[in-house]
Amino acid sequence: MKRSLCFILATSILCLILVSCSENKGMSDVSQTYKDRTVEEAQYVPVKRQKQEVISEEGFYMSGSGTYVTPETVEKYPKLTNLPTVYIELEGGDLSSVRHGVYSKAKITLADEYVIDSVYERSAQIKGRGNWSWSFAQKPYTVKLDEGADLLGMGKAKKWVLVTVHSDKTMMHNYMTQKLAKNMGLYGTCDNEYVDVVCNGKYAGTYVLTEKIQLHENRVALKDDKGALFEIEMVYRHTCDNCVVLYEDPSDRSKSIHMRMIEYGKWDLENLSPSQLEWMNYFMPLLQEHINTVSALMQEGDLLELENYIDVDSFVNWYLLNELTRNFDSAFVTSCYCFLDEDNILYMGPVWDYDTCYGIQDAAYDSSRIQDAPWFAYLINNCEKFKELVDARWTELRKDNGVIEKFYNSIRDVSNYISRSEILQHTLYPDSELLNVPYEEALEYFETWLSNRLIWMDENFLIS
């Protein structure tokens, strides 16, 4: 069965991108004070990216872009703070005119002096994204550049996400958790960087510019472009044809859990050819059988046989990351991703969406949430060997000056780094969707909650 899951995939070529945008005007309509602090007074740590080139009086040729950047261009698109600034120019309106799920034409400019191509100017498209987050005053967006580009050193690609920080008063949860996941070794974790955003001359807030989760040579890169990417979520959150059942709730079907295929190689799942559709009709029952086998082996606690079907390390790391953050969605509610590689091995990840974690959506710090997810309930409760691997991995992560200690100690460093932008963000958006308290109180809550959570984690997973 396992080897019958062959993948037939098309190939495609992605090319270089960059971004473009509007004049800098209207900045004066955003106050630069917040709770008696000023941008000039805010302290921050320097960005870690190394400055690679200094623009001369004549300018420089932007490699691969066909654009000659002059000092006048750089002056036209200044950075608002120490963070890179994204300028968006839309035709006939501001960001409020952008519709959810429908692309609008745009020009986008990314200004940052810490990389060779310090000003990117390119055509693009932008659309609204997200479910609950689309209801926020500060909304999230997907940006699709006309040509692929390596933005802020994150790897060349066309699709990018502007993640809102509106539900998290600290503005750190998504940014720091993805950095942590990468340091833990979770493959395919999206790179991200803070940016200030200006649309049609008006400041639009602080965002986290993030790679889009996708099968891609610079993201989830699979051999010969073969494989499939899935989002795991409860049935009530979606309707789709390309789904297999992960768990069937006998009492409430809406709480059953599906694996929704969102990418299959380089095929366009929304526009399959007749031959591709015929293949998918053949393939999906095989995939369902494959997932049934994985679930059965987990229930039996047979890790030795499971190693022929899953990448155990990714399951261990994904479990610990979501247990640490007490991610509400990690119970396979939504935003839980996994992928099958070219050898039909199942990996957990990439990770996504941590703005409401760390005691924001659920204040409890002394209980598990992820163990409500069927797979992990099976693995933790039925598979002693898996629990031993979890304990050993947590013990490794908790060593002196290790990954977890550095993560905790970086909270104030990150706060300092974004301090100027935080003032602008909370002047424009003073209220947060959750834990609507002053910024410093939210920061202290984050530290206190995480400290308590670490105690609970150590009590349950640390090998003494």
Query: What's the pLDDT tens digit per position in 208-258?
Result: 999 999 999 889 988 877 799 999 999 988 777 789 999 998 888 888 999
Residue 11 pLDDT > 70: no
Cis omega (within 30 of 0) for bond into 71 = no
Lowest mean pLDDT among 113-127, 186-200, 372-386: 113-127
By C-alpha distance, which of 313, 210, 222, 323 is closest to 264?
A: 222
pLDDT at position 119 is 58
451-461 per-position pLDDT tens digit = 999 999 999 99
By C-alpha distance, which of 305, 322, 304, 408 is closest to 372?
A: 322
- Decide: 67 and 121 in contact? Cβ < 8 Å: yes
356-372 per-position pLDDT tens digit = 999 998 888 999 999 99
Higher pLDDT, 462 or 254: 462
| Four-residue CA torsion sign, 264, 265, 271, 274 | negative
Q: Mean pLDDT over residues 26-33, rounded?
A: 36
pLDDT at position 23 is 36
Percent of the chain with pLDDT over 70: 83
415-440 per-position pLDDT tens digit = 999 999 999 999 999 988 888 899 99
Q: Most distant CA pair in the chain: distance in Å?
A: 71
Residue 163 pLDDT > 80: yes
By C-alpha distance, which of 160, 29, 173, 191 is closest to 86?
A: 160
Residue 69 pLDDT > 80: no
pTM: 0.86
Lowest mean pLDDT among 17-31, 148-162, 249-263: 17-31
Residue 29 pLDDT > 50: no
Of the pLDDT bands very low, low, confident and very high (cuts 50, 70, 90), residue 49 is: very low
pLDDT at position 63 is 34
- Decide: 130 and 356 in contact? Cβ < 8 Å: no
pLDDT at position 48 is 42
By C-alpha distance, which of 358, 360, 357 is closest to 454?
A: 358
Lowest mean pLDDT among 4-18, 152-166, 319-333: 4-18
Helix (H, G, I), strand (E, B) or coil at 175: helix
pLDDT at position 39 is 42
Phi/psi for 208 (5° steps) reads -105, 110
Q: Mean pLDDT over residues 154-158, rounded?
A: 92
306-326 per-position pLDDT tens digit = 999 999 999 999 999 999 999
pLDDT mean across residues, the chain:
84
Of the pLDDT bands very low, low, confident and very high (cuts 50, 70, 90), residue 9 is: very low
Of the pLDDT bands very low, low, confident and very high (cuts 50, 70, 90), residue 70 is: low
Residue 288 pLDDT > 50: yes
How many angstroms from the chain centroid is the CA of residue 79?
24
372-427 per-position pLDDT tens digit = 999 999 999 999 999 999 999 999 999 999 999 999 999 999 999 999 999 999 99
Dist CA 306 CA 314 (whole Å): 13
**Contacts (Cβ under 8 Å, ≥6 apart) of 314:** 186, 187, 347, 348, 349
pLDDT at position 6 is 45
- Helix (H) or strand (E) run with residue 119 in it: strand 119-128
Q: What is the DSSP letter of 191?
A: P
The position carrying tokens 């550049």 is 145
By C-alpha distance, which of 177, 219, 129 is closest to 354?
A: 177
By C-alpha distance, which of 206, 191, 185 is closest to 157?
A: 191
pLDDT at position 5 is 56
Higher pLDDT, 121 or 320: 320
The structure tokens listed for 300 are: 């039996």
pLDDT at position 184 is 96
Q: Mean pLDDT over residues 150-177, rounded?
A: 94
- Decide: 79 and 112 in contact? Cβ < 8 Å: yes
pLDDT at position 435 is 86
pLDDT at position 118 is 52
Residue 272 pLDDT > 50: yes
Of the pLDDT bands very low, low, confident and very high (cuts 50, 70, 90), residue 141 is: very high
Report how far apart, in Å, the C-alpha atoms of 132 and of each of 100, 173, 292 are.
12, 17, 31
The position carrying tokens 């810490």 is 114
**Contacts (Cβ under 8 Å, ≥6 apart) of 382:** 298, 299, 300, 301
Dist CA 55 CA 57 (whole Å): 7
